[in-house]
């Protein structure tokens, strides 16, 4: 089988103007609350607001966005050279963690703010900060921005989805040969992710140097498919089993997913029955994902399709989650999330059936909400109907 590679597009990482627009909207939200500024400590929020991509560890990195004045990127000394190219910010540098003064307390002191919002905080820092501030607001003021993607962000999402698909294409093409030679889940995983990641780096590595490019996957077979988050193992798939592969790909920090259930040797009548129900679940989520709908109602409508097929006892998780600068981020297509769906939101669509000690099934699509419908940039399932998802042994 000849694999069709994604078409390379002339795109670049999101630039300084995008980050400035993010910060402008953030300071407007802060001003409306009567705050002096906002301190972002979430690594995803820091990246979103200034573009600084760093290795996350115990040393906190923070971005202070004041209502008046220049933003400051607070970093540990070992990140100095990495942070210096970040446009539109000045740098504040602390020596090391934990320090005589906790770095977050030091950041707040450096900000000279009296009223500040912080997106997330270790509970142990609340008391010392309350002695320094007139008002401490523990709220993620940037989150509503991240829900709605710009056209530039959606381009990166679409491209990422095509490389998640490429990983699945490689798996379908090579799994039979690998299994026939005694290959395990780990061998399947290494081959398909390695192939797709090499293609992604070849096509976009130069333009996106220094930003996050990744292809990650899980591969489960047989009874292990009943474990939604089971680790990929040395197990060799056997004839007549299911194989689940879920893939996440990242370009320029933006995530997309694609996933499928494949069948070794043949599709049985029971396989087909479950997969028809899975398709109905997928389609119900797409139909319900309309601007103005509540996220939890989309989840309920989708999972009702599995319950109607007498598979309700095999449901282990929600239908989907938001995606963007994190692989899993709000809003959630899940019980309790009352967020209203809006155009340019991005979600996963993940029907799952899990029957312990027997088998499991999961498919994944990326969904982009449009004013008049849902765009699905992950194309593997559409290009490979159920009968074509067979691994010949």
| pLDDT tens-digit series, residues 216-246 | 999 999 999 999 998 899 999 999 999 999 9
The C-alpha atoms of residue 388 and residue 172 are separated, in whole angstroms, by 9
pLDDT score of 354: 98
pLDDT score of 344: 98
DSSP secondary structure letter of residue 294: B
Q: Please list, residue by residue across 270-299, b when 16 or more beta carbons sit within 10 angstroms of its beta carbon and e when fewer do.
A: ebeebbebbbbbbebbbebbbeebbbbbbb
Tokens of 124: 């142990």
Res. 89: pLDDT tops 70? yes
The C-alpha atoms of residue 388 and residue 308 are separated, in whole angstroms, by 25
DSSP one-letter string for 321-386: EE-SSSSSEEEEESTT--PBP-TT-EEEE--EEEETTTEEEE-BEEEEEETTEEE----HHHHS-G
In terms of domains, do 181 and 270 share one?
A: yes
**Average of pLDDT values for 364-369?**
98
Res. 371: pLDDT tops 80? yes
- Of 102, 130, 146, the last residue of a domain is 146
- Of 121, 146, 171, the last residue of a domain is 146
DSSP one-letter string for 57-93: SSS--EEEEESSS--EEEEEGGGHHHHTT-TT-EEEE
What whole-number percentage of the chain has pLDDT above 70? Answer: 100
- Residue ranges of E strands in the chain: 37-40, 62-66, 72-76, 90-94, 115-118, 135-138, 214-221, 242-251, 254-264, 320-322, 329-333, 346-349, 352-355, 359-362, 365-370, 373-375, 390-391
Tokens of 72: 């400051």
pLDDT score of 3: 85
pLDDT score of 275: 97
The C-alpha atoms of residue 335 and residue 337 are separated, in whole angstroms, by 6
In terms of domains, do 170 and 134 share one?
A: no
pLDDT score of 230: 84
**Average of pLDDT values for 17-39?**
97
Higher model confidence: residue 2 or residue 292?
Answer: 292
| 3-state secondary structure at position 183 | coil
Check which CATH number belongs to the domain holding 27 and give it: 3.40.350.10
Within a domain: 1: no
In terms of domains, do 311 and 365 share one?
A: yes
Instruction: Kindly report the average pLDDT of the chain as a whole number.
Output: 96
Within a domain: 7: no
Residues facing residue 242 across a β-bridge: 263
Within a domain: 183: yes
Helices 269-288 and 295-308, packing angle to 10 deg: 160
Higher model confidence: residue 124 or residue 3?
Answer: 124
Check which CATH number belongs to the domain holding 256 and give it: 3.90.230.10
- Of 130, 146, 162, the last residue of a domain is 146
Q: Residue 1's pLDDT band (boundaries 50, 70, 90)?
A: low
Res. 383: pLDDT tops 90? yes
In terms of domains, do 236 and 380 share one?
A: yes
| pLDDT tens-digit series, residues 59-88 | 999 999 999 999 999 999 999 999 999 999
Q: Are 157 and 254 in contact (CB under 8 A)?
A: yes
**Average of pLDDT values for 39-67?**
97
Q: Residue 42's pLDDT band (boundaries 50, 70, 90)?
A: very high
Enclosing domain of residue 198: 148-391
**Average of pLDDT values for 145-170?**
98
| pLDDT tens-digit series, residues 165-214 | 999 999 999 999 999 999 999 999 999 999 999 999 999 999 999 888 99
The C-alpha atoms of residue 117 and residue 139 are separated, in whole angstroms, by 6
For the chain, what is the domain count? 2
């Amino acid at each position: 089988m000849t694999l069709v590679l994604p078409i390379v597009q002339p795109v670049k990482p999101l630039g300084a103007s995008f980050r400035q627009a993010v910060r402008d909207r953030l300071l407007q939200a802060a001003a409306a609350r009567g705050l002096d500024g906002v301190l972002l400590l979430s690594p995803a929020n820091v990246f979103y607001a200034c573009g600084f991509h760093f290795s996350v560890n115990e040393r906190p990195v923070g971005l202070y966005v004041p209502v008046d004045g220049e933003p400051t990127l607070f970093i540990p000394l070992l990140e100095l050279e990495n942070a210096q190219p970040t446009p539109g910010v000045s740098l504040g540098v602390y020596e090391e963690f934990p320090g005589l003064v906790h770095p977050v307390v030091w950041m707040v002191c450096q900000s000279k703010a009296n009223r500040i919002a912080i997106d997330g905080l270790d509970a142990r820092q609340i008391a010392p900060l309350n002695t320094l501030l007139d008002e401490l607001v523990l709220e993620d003021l940037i989150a509503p921005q991240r829900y709605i993607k710009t056209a530039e962000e959606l381009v990166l999402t679409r491209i990422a989805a095509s490389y998640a698909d490429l990983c699945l294409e490689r798996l379908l093409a090579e799994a039979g040969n690998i299994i026939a030679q005694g290959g395990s889940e780990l061998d399947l995983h290494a081959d398909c992710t390695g192939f797709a990641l090499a293609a992604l780096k070849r096509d976009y590595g130069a333009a996106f140097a220094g930003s996050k490019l990744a292809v990650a996957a899980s591969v489960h077979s047989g009874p292990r498919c009943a474990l939604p988050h089971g680790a990929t193992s040395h197990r060799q798939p056997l004839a007549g089993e299911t194989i689940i592969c879920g893939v996440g790909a990242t370009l320029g920090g933006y995530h997309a997913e694609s996933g499928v259930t494949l069948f070794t040797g043949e599709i049985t009548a029971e396989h087909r029955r479950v997969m028809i129900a899975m398709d109905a679940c997928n389609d119900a989520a797409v139909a319900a994902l309309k601007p103005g709908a509540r996220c939890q109602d989309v989840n309920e409508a989708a999972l009702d399709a599995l319950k109607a097929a007498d598979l309700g006892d095999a449901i282990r998780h929600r239908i989907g989650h938001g995606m963007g600068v994190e692989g899993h981020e709000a809003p959630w297509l899940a019980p309790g999330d009352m967020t209203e769906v809006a155009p340019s939101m991005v979600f996963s669509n993940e029907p799952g059936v899990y029957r312990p000690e027997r088998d499991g099934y999961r498919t994944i699509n990326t969904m982009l909400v449009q004013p008049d419908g849902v765009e699905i940039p992950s194309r593997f399932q559409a290009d490979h109907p159920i009968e074509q998802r067979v691994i010949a042994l």
